[in-house]
Amino acid sequence: MTEIQKTLFTLLCEVDGICRKYGITYFLHENTALEAVQKDHMGEERMIAEVIMRVPELLRFMEAFEKEKPAHRSLESWLNEPRYGDFGCRYVNDNTLYLDLPNYHHYRQYGFAVRISVLRDFPASRIKSKLATAKEIGFEMTFAEGSRAEAKKYEFCEKLVRPKLKTPESSLEFTRKMFDEFCGIYDNPSAQRCFSKYFRTQRHHFERSWFAEPVMTTLEGRSFPVPAREYFVSMYGQGYMSRRLPGRKMTEYIVADTEIPYRDYLKEIADIGLPLNKYIAERERYIRKQKASQPKVDTIKHYWDLLFRTGDRFELYEQYAPIKKELLSMRREGRFDELSAALAPYREKLMKNYQLGLGLCFDPEIFDCMTDLLRREGNGQLAAELREMIPEEHMKPIVIKGYDDD
């Protein structure tokens, strides 16, 4: 496992340990669940672990967390962070750093985490359900600008919420009340159906029976509960066992470190004298400028690669021209071990250029000796690729002329 995978798996085991100790029912969720049933391994592109539980279990987990108070861990939710994006919480490792620049406004505790989602029962009251939905949409609209059409469509929802978020104090009071309200609305033991929802995403609807009894599977050799098979079919289709998992690739837009506490990183930003939002805007602007100039950088690099390949061709020509007849004799007589040893310097430069997308030939007959060796070693496909990468003019013998030659 990578260091990030190890960090996420440790957090997941800690959540599992608390749930086992206090008899809390939960399930691996979404991609974390699918990775468990597919291959028993966490994906290399995984940046967050996901679990899901019903409202009563979430409240019990929060209570258990307060009792346990695990060191260097925090629980981020509407109860303590009014700018957290979801109804649910994040179990965070405070001694790590995970800042996803485009999505930084979804959360405020920027460490690696297990996202604990709520398996919401369909409400008993249709009116309360609609009001809760309007309030949640309005709350989401206050985070970042959406499209103009989206802003117009949900203008009423946003106006319902925005006046209550004027100060940090009023915002926290509002999200705490909203958390309590949602806990009441989305806990309906008589409901036959339920759903999950993330920040600005569509709902995923489920039958409650799919979560009646946990199905045990393994992830990285440890036993974890997942929902019934129907859950995976609903989420990923009938071919879910062969479904390629999406992931969050490590790019310039992600600032991550498993050894640096995110508060130390935020302090460094504060010491610069920039608010976090302005720092992120500046960093994103710099990344965009870098990406815009990258084609020019790539072109210059390619020209340098071509120049160095020219140097390799002439070095190899000087090295092998005197022994060419002997090399051809080795091939003709089947002395392939000797031929392979003699061509080792050529092979090294050949593979170096291959990694740069360039073929390397200084003499067509010696190149044929090399590709013959590759085919005998079972690398026929590589031999064919190398031939395709060589310009036709390089398949002609090198002719070195003196100044007095015509």
Q: Which CATH architecture has domain 3-123+186-273?
A: 2-Layer Sandwich (3.30)
CB atoms within 10 A of CB 267: 10
d(CA 239, CA 291): 37
d(CA 235, CA 221): 24
At 244 the three-state DSSP class reads coil
Residue ranges of the domains in the chain?
Answer: 3-123+186-273, 290-395
Length of the chain in residues, anyone?
Answer: 406
| 245 DSSP 8-state letter | P
d(CA 271, CA 262): 14
Nearest to 28 by CA among 59, 257, 38: 38
Query: Which H or E run includes 120?
Result: strand 113-121
* Pair of tokens at residue 322: 């005197």
List Cα–Cα distances, 273 to 32, 264, 276, 287, 400, in angstroms: 39, 15, 9, 20, 63
pLDDT for the residue 191? 92
Phi-psi region at 357: left, alpha or beta (left = phi > 0; alpha = psi -120 to 50): left
pTM over 0.75: no
Question: 396-401 contacts: CB < 8 A, separation 24 or more?
Answer: 396/364, 397/363, 397/364, 398/313, 398/314, 398/317, 398/362, 398/363
pLDDT for the residue 405? 52
d(CA 190, CA 175): 27
List Cα–Cα distances, 146 to 152, 196, 299, 374, in angstroms: 10, 22, 37, 56
Written as tens digits, the pLDDT of the chain (406 aa) is 889 999 999 999 999 999 999 999 999 999 999 999 988 888 877 889 999 999 999 999 999 999 999 999 999 999 999 888 889 999 999 999 998 887 777 888 999 999 999 999 999 898 989 989 999 888 888 876 656 666 677 788 888 888 888 888 999 999 999 999 999 999 999 999 999 988 877 889 999 999 999 999 999 999 999 999 999 999 988 888 888 776 666 677 788 899 999 999 888 888 888 777 777 777 777 777 766 766 776 677 777 888 888 889 989 999 999 999 999 999 999 999 999 999 999 999 999 999 888 999 999 999 999 999 999 998 888 999 998 988 888 888 776 655 455 5
| 86 DSSP 8-state letter | S
pLDDT for the residue 42? 86
d(CA 378, CA 336): 14
Phi-psi region at 334: left, alpha or beta (left = phi > 0; alpha = psi -120 to 50): left
At 118 the three-state DSSP class reads strand
Nearest to 331 by CA among 339, 341, 323: 339
Q: Taking CA 33 as the corner, what is the angle to CA 32 and CA 38, rounded to the nearest 5 degrees?
A: 100
Query: Which H or E run includes 373?
Result: helix 364-376
d(CA 50, CA 117): 7
